[in-house]
């Protein structure tokens, strides 16, 4: 082998090694991205389930706000009736689930606004607006509500639709988002 052939052979080997490492890196990055998306989806699903279970047990008459049109709200106050005593419905302590835009959090509160208020953050990566929605007065994501926030409730008769979008930095530092929604029926 001449010196020139040796140099060429080495250069070729170097290129092959570089290509192989690039393939490995991009496979690794894709895998990191996939697991980050799956973890975020899990997180969104868990928060949505928690909200849905809480709202599910509540009574229709206790819901605030009480819109009969598809206007969304970023918070929902509800109570569970404990039964009827002397002809009067006895309500459990009121609870409220709402979006804190400042902290990107879903906040659950019991006895909201009172001295005995109990406050727990259920999720802390909520997007300011639902995925695909920007604040421009139109329904960009085509779900029937306009400029809805990252957490929204729509009450129609005894059905509550809950939508949640979360976002966090992905492994390559570009943001990744997940959106989940469900509809629950409250007690009539
Ligand atoms: Ca919309
Ligand atoms: Ca919009």
Report if residue 99 sits inside a domain.
yes
State which residues form the domain around 101.
Answer: 27-185
Whole-model pTM: value is 0.84
Nearest ligand to the C-alpha atom of residue 142: 1
Number of domains in the chain: 1
Residue 43 belongs to some domain of the structure: yes
Ligand closest to the CA atom of residue 141: 1
Is 100 within the bounds of a domain? yes
Ligand nearest to the CA of 148: 1
Question: Which ligand sits nearest to residue 147's alpha carbon?
Answer: 2
Do residues 177 and 131 make contact, with C-beta atoms less than 8 angstroms apart?
Answer: yes
**pLDDT tens over the chain, length 188 residues:** 788 899 999 999 999 999 998 888 888 888 999 999 999 999 999 999 999 999 998 988 888 886 555 689 999 999 988 888 999 888 899 999 999 999 999 999 999 999 999 999 999 999 999 999 999 999 999 999 999 999 999 998 889 999 999 999 998 889 999 999 999 999 88
The verdict on residue 7 lying in a domain is: no
Strands 75-78 and 95-100: antiparallel
Q: Is residue 177 assigned to a domain?
A: yes
3-state secondary structure of 91: strand
pLDDT of residue 53: 94
131 CA distance to ligand 1 middle (Å): 9
Q: Which ligand is nearest to the CA of 181?
A: 1
* CA–centroid distance, residue 2 to ligand 2 (Å): 69
Domain assignment present for residue 21? The answer is no
Rg (CA), the chain: 25
Residue 168, in any domain of the structure:
yes
* 72 alpha carbon – ligand 1 mean position (Å): 10
Q: How many Å lie between the centroid of ligand 1 and the Cα of residue 9?
A: 59
- What pLDDT does residue 132 have? 97
Instruction: Give the pLDDT confidence score for residue 73 in this predicted structure.
Output: 94
Within a domain: 1: no
């Amino acid at each position: 082998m001449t010196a020139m052939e040796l140099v060429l052979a080495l250069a070729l080997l170097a290129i092959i090694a570089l290509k192989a490492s690039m393939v490995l890196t991009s496979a690794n990055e894709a895998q990191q991205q996939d697991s980050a998306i799956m973890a975020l989806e899990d997180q969104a699903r868990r928060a949505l389930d928690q909200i849905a279970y809480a709202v599910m047990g509540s009574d229709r008459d206790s819901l605030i706000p009480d819109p009969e049109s598809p206007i969304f709200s970023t918070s929902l106050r509800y109570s569970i009736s404990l039964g009827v005593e002397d002809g009067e419905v006895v309500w459990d302590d009121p609870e409220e689930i709402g979006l804190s835009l400042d902290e990107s959090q879903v906040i659950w509160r019991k006895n909201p606004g009172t001295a005995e208020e109990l406050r727990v953050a259920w999720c802390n990566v909520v997007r300011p607006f639902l995925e695909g929605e920007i604040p421009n007065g139109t329904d960009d994501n085509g779900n029937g509500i306009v400029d809805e926030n990252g957490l929204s409730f729509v009450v129609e008769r005894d059905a509550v639709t809950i939508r949640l979008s979360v976002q966090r930095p992905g492994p390559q530092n570009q943001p990744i988002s997940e959106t989940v929604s469900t509809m629950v029926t409250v007690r009539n």
